[in-house]
């Protein structure tokens, strides 16, 4: 891709991007949210048409008027939000759009056999071609998407944040599959915000910043992380995690108390407390029960046993309204589907939990909504400025700030955060971490869940290790490391 340019109304999204990819290499495409990564791969995939520049595929200049044109030439894109149909089988998803037919009917036996061979090629012979995709794990769905790409005889596969929803074991299996594909001569463009993955899987790196190529073709093994961060952000970020509170900064009286909380089949006998100004982190693998615990504390799930108290008063179980009224806020794992109305304005997404305060004689005071929302977007540095734009147009980091602004406006005592940095680039992460610590410094009690153990340890004051639905250990964050957490997780799983 040479000198690629793409305009949107009022925005120059790509301003002369260059990218070259070799057969059989894993080429990592990096950049902050808004740097142009998604736009660039959509141009390559035929979803967007470039306003300038050239695309050469195997030495021939090409132009893809639609995604199927790119697929037909062997370029497949696997987006972060997978486009699979849960109610169809694995084979039906793999051959969706290019079904094999006999006498006007789908040749099910033929596509099942072909899919089984593709799954074997991907190192997953245990996966059945006839099972419904909706029953698969996130990792299983990734494999189905790769099988679909191979069914088009793809020679270049673009993977957008493929590890975002996977636990460490699933990531390891994904990397084995990627290495096998590269060994077969298939090129991979790999997009990730997890810089530690680049060393493991990447051959070369291209970094984008503000719609331009900041660096191209850097060797992944030899480029220091500090240099990658500098290229992405334009500055050096040496200390990502803010300083912890001191003992004198934390009140002795708990603002949140959880006792004997249980939900059949998910977790049992969970007990912990959080003091004002304290960040408590839940560390564990995906599926350990961390998210379910947070959702139950918030009232989105009803417990089968146990009590939740806020400022000494018990909450009515299974009632989100009761939790909100007591001052509990929740930023869920999937902000796009669970927290935001993507087509609605930034200001309305911020005021969503506080609409009653803007009612005047049966009407909404929209001017007041915009004014108060703007105060919070300014204090949280939501970019670009302006509360009338659709929240879906913002980057992941700025969308997360909007969700935080919602609870600041509401005035919460306790803030529950599930995967607060998912899909957020390294520069925005530092801002999110500083905001979370700043909220704690204002006296808000914070409970944090993250799949990245380093994030839990770096941001929290105390760490609770969760394994198989139980809290198996508790430690001051400064007294535990990632290896010890993983040891405790494994010990708890077999205990």
- 131 upstream amide cis, omega within 30 of 0: no
Helix (H, G, I), strand (E, B) or coil at 4: strand
**Domain residue extents for the chain:** 2-233, 247-494
Collect the ranges in the chain with pLDDT lower than 70.
33, 101-106, 235-239, 245-252, 490, 492-495
**Which pLDDT belongs to residue 171?**
83
Spatial contact of 2 and 181, defined as CB atoms under 8 Å apart: no
247-494 topology per CATH: Rossmann fold (3.40.50)
Contacts for 331 with CB less than 8 Å, ≥ 6 apart: 339, 400, 403, 404, 407, 415, 416, 417, 418, 420
H or E element that contains 394: none
Condensed to tens digits (0 to 9), the pLDDT of residues 369-416 reads 999 999 999 988 888 888 999 998 888 888 999 999 999 999 999 999
**Which pLDDT belongs to residue 241?**
86
- Tokens 């021939």, residue? 60
- Tokens 């009612």, residue? 359
Residue 442's region, left for phi above 0, alpha for psi from -120 to 50, else beta, is: alpha
**Which pLDDT belongs to residue 383?**
83
Helix extents (H) in 74-131: 90-94, 108-121
Query: Same CATH fold, 247-494 and 2-233?
Result: yes
Q: CA separation (Å) from 160 to 76, 81, 207, 345, 463?
A: 11, 9, 15, 26, 31
**Which pLDDT belongs to residue 303?**
97
CATH code for the domain defined by 2-233? 3.40.50.300
Cα–Cα distance measured from residue 252 to residue 495, given in angstroms and rounded to the nearest whole number: 33
Output DSSP code: residue 358: G
Closest C-alpha to 45, from 83, 13, 76, 81: 76
């Amino acid at each position: 891709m040479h000198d690629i340019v793409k305009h949107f109304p009022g925005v120059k999204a790509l301003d002369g991007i260059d990218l070259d990819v070799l057969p059989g290499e894993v080429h990592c495409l990096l950049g902050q949210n808004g740097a142009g990564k998604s736009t660039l791969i959509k141009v390559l995939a035929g979803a967007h048409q470039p306003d300038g520049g050239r695309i050469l595929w195997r030495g021939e200049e090409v132009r893809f008027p639609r995604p199927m044109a790119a697929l037909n030439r062997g370029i497949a894109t696997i987006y972060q939000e997978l486009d699979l149909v849960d109610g169809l089988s694995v084979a039906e998803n793999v051959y969706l759009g290019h079904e094999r037919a006999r006498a006007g009917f789908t040749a099910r036996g033929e596509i099942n056999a072909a899919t089984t061979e593709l799954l074997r090629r991907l190192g997953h012979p245990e996966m059945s071609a006839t099972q419904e995709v909706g029953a698969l794990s996130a990792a299983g769905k990734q494999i189905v998407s790769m099988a679909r790409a191979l069914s088009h005889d793809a020679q270049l596969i673009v993977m957008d944040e493929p590890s975002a929803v996977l636990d460490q074991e699933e990531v390891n299996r994904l990397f084995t599959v990627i290495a096998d594909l590269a060994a077969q001569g298939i090129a991979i463009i790999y997009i990730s915000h997890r810089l530690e993955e680049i060393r493991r899987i990447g051959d070369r790196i291209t970094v984008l910043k503000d719609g331009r190529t900041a660096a191209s073709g850097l060797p992944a093994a030899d480029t220091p992380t500090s240099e990658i961060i500098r290229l992405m952000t334009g500055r050096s970020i040496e200390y990502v995690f803010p300083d912890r509170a001191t003992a004198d900064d934390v009140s002795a009286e708990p603002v949140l108390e959880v006792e004997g909380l249980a939900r059949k089949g998910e977790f049992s006998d969970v007990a912990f407390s959080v003091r004002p100004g304290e960040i408590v982190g839940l560390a564990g693998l995906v599926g350990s029960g961390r998210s379910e615990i947070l959702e139950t504390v918030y009232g989105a799930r009803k417990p089968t046993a146990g009590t939740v108290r806020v400022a000494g008063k018990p909450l009515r179980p299974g009632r989100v309204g009761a939790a909100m009224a007591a001052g509990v806020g929740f930023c869920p794992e999937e902000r796009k589907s669970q927290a935001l109305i993507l087509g609605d304005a930034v200001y309305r997404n911020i005021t969503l939990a506080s609409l009653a305060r803007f009612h005047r004689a049966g009407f909404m005071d929209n001017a007041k909504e915009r004014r108060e929302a703007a105060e919070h977007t300014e204090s949280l540095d939501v970019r670009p400025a302006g509360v009338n734009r659709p929240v879906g147009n913002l980057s992941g980091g700025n969308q997360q700030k909007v969700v935080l602004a919602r609870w600041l406006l509401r005035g919460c005592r306790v803030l529950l955060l599930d995967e607060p940095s998912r899909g957020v680039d390294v520069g925005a992460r530092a801002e999110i971490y500083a905001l979370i610590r700043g909220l704690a410094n204002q006296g808000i009690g914070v409970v944090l869940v993250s799949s990245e153990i380093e994030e839990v340890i770096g941001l929290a004051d105390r760490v609770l290790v969760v394994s198989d639905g139980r809290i198996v250990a508790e430690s001051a964050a400064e007294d535990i490391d990632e290896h010890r957490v993983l040891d405790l997780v494994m010990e708890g799983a077999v205990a």
